[in-house]
Amino acid sequence: MLIYVLDMFGTAVFAASGVLMAGRLRMDPFGIVVLASVTAIGGGTIRDMALGATPVFWITDTSYLWVIFITCLIAMLAIRKPKQMPWYFLPVADAIGLAVFVAIGVEKALRFGASPMVAVIMGVMTGCGGGVIRDILAREIPMVLRTEVYATACILGGIVHTTALMLHVDASVATLAGVITTLTIRLAAIRWHLSLPTFIPRQ
């Protein structure tokens, strides 16, 4: 139940990031909903299609769609009436949603008989896929392709999760370990502005 609640929280946060991006691009309300939706459920949709999990999760549980629509309405009103908000609120909330999304992706892939390596990939896809679609639609370089520690945190969290399960650790403990790993690395990257080295070919 806690994971489900956090999943809804992550959906709302990811949808809000899509609304903010749409606001910067001066999109109309339809464009805002589209960008918010692909950000919030795009990664999970790609995951389910890759695993052959039909119908995809938001078709069987429309709560995800309602969370997105409500978030769009609240976020659009908040943008029109901006208030002081700590700079770290959205990045930290995004980190929490990211960590939960990764864990859910790993668990679902394993339930469908995927190998640990594929499960980690599905976890990364769940956490990062929506943001990639959002950035592509916004004509920006996706965050996972930049130097920021984002996908790396997902990979390490997924590895901890699957490794714990292979060591026959209780499933709940393994999930929690994966979530904490992803969250800790992402929060450390936010706090200390950590980034990966860039590849620059010699001339």
Q: Is 34 exposed, middle or buried (0-12, 13-18, 19+ CB in 10 A)?
A: middle
Q: And the tokens for 7? A: 């999943």
| pLDDT tens, N- to C-terminus, the chain (203 residues) | 788 998 999 999 999 999 989 988 999 999 999 999 999 999 999 999 999 998 999 999 999 999 999 999 998 887 766 566 677 888 998 999 999 999 999 999 999 999 999 999 999 999 999 999 999 999 998 888 887 899 999 999 999 999 999 999 999 999 999 999 999 999 999 999 898 887 777 76
Which residues make beta-bridge pairs with 148? 195
Q: Is 148 helix (H, G, I), strand (E, B) or coil?
A: strand
Q: How far is CA 18 from the centre of its chain?
A: 12
Beta-bridge partners for 36? none
H runs (alpha helix) in 81-150: 89-111, 116-137
Residues in the chain: 203
Domain locations in the chain as residue ranges: 2-192
**For the chain, how far is it from start to end, CA to CA, in angstroms?**
55
pLDDT of residue 82: 55
Distance CA 169, CA 13 (A): 30
Residue 83: per-residue pLDDT: 63
pLDDT at 56: 96
Answering whether pTM is above 0.85, one says yes
